[in-house]
Amino acid sequence: MKIALMGYGNMGQELERVIGSSDKHQVVSVSLKSVDGVWDIDGLRKSDVVIDFTHPSVILENIKKVAALGKNMVVGTTGWYDKVDEVKRIIKQKKIGLIYAQNFSIGANIFFKVVKDVSKLFAKFGGYDVYGFEVHHSGKKDSPSGTAVRIAKEILNNFPSKKKLQAEKLDRQIEKTELHFASVRGGRNPGYHEVVFDSIADSITLSHQAHNRTGFAKGAILAAEFIKGKKGLYNFDQVFEGGDTG
């Protein structure tokens, strides 16, 4: 499969390395090595699938331009999910396929399911509060991370006493219905997420630590294999479960 990369930060470089380590696929183009960088239109036209790890400020424009070329996309860029309805319209009009994820790590996606199931259990038996935090490298462009937002969604959907995500600094007592998920930015950590269920009797901690970006790259390539030849909007969950979001 011929893959075009958009963005050449840590993830773009890791994708190029992982793809280059096998003869299964090849990188035929790299565009937007910086946010205001150059588009390799000829290279994009040669590709089967485009993988985007750029910046939320440009992702909508990127999707429009790639869709106009009739190319399917994998979007690893986070922080744009308030525009999902607009993206649906674009891909429907241009008849392409697009798959996105808050996190393309296979381990992280299993972690989401663990959090979902455990949240149901603690909610059933009662007496527990829940909170979380995440740590990312100093170059991370959004906060909270897309992964943290996804984890929070699993908790909010399955732990009825929590009604609202609170990801900002608090200069007051937190409300019982708020789920606090804090963020730390600094150093080189590629991604750490922790969820704590706490009661008067004990605490249970669930965590996921990415050791490097290889898992994210392999997941994005798996997503590219999945989306090739498809039409419509998909979430990475559907690589495991099947089905179309519309």
| Furthest C-alpha separation in the chain | 62
Judged against a pLDDT cut of 70, whether residue 138 lies above it is answered with yes
Q: What are phi and psi of 205, to 5 degrees?
A: -115, 130
- The amino acid that residue 127 corresponds to is G
List the beta bridge partners of residue 132: 181, 195
Judged against a pLDDT cut of 70, whether residue 16 lies above it is answered with yes
pLDDT confidence bin for 146, thresholds 50/70/90:
confident
Give the domain 106-209 fold: Dihydrodipicolinate Reductase; domain 2 (3.30.360)
Q: What is the pLDDT of residue 74?
A: 98
Judged against a pLDDT cut of 90, whether residue 243 lies above it is answered with no
What's the chain's average pLDDT? 94
Q: What is the pLDDT of residues 26-72, one digit of tens each?
A: 999 999 999 889 999 999 999 999 999 999 999 999 999 999 999 99
pLDDT confidence bin for 128, thresholds 50/70/90:
very high
Q: What angle do CA 17, 19, 20 make, to 5 degrees?
A: 65
Q: What is the mean pLDDT of residues 8-28?
A: 95
Judged against a pLDDT cut of 70, whether residue 245 lies above it is answered with no
How far apart CA 230 and CA 177 sit, in angstroms, is: 41
Domain limits of the chain? 2-104+214-241, 106-209
List Cβ neighbours of 75 (8 Å cut-off, separation of 6 or more). Answer: 52, 59, 63, 98, 99, 100, 101
* Residue 92 host element (H or E): helix 84-94
Q: What are phi and psi of 38, to 5 degrees?
A: -90, 140
pLDDT confidence bin for 246, thresholds 50/70/90:
very low
Q: What is the pLDDT of residue 242?
A: 56
Judged against a pLDDT cut of 90, whether residue 186 lies above it is answered with yes
List the beta bridge partners of residue 52: 6, 75
Give me the long-range contacts of 90-94 (CB less than 8 A, separation at least 24): 90/63, 90/64, 91/63, 91/67, 91/231, 91/232, 91/233, 92/232, 93/67, 94/67, 94/68, 94/70
Active site residues: 136, 140
Q: What is the pLDDT of residues 65-122, one digit of tens each?
A: 999 999 999 999 988 999 999 999 999 999 999 999 988 998 999 999 999 999 999 9
List the one residue out of 76, 80, 109, 62 whose CA is nearest residue 227.
Answer: 76
Give the domain 2-104+214-241 fold: Rossmann fold (3.40.50)
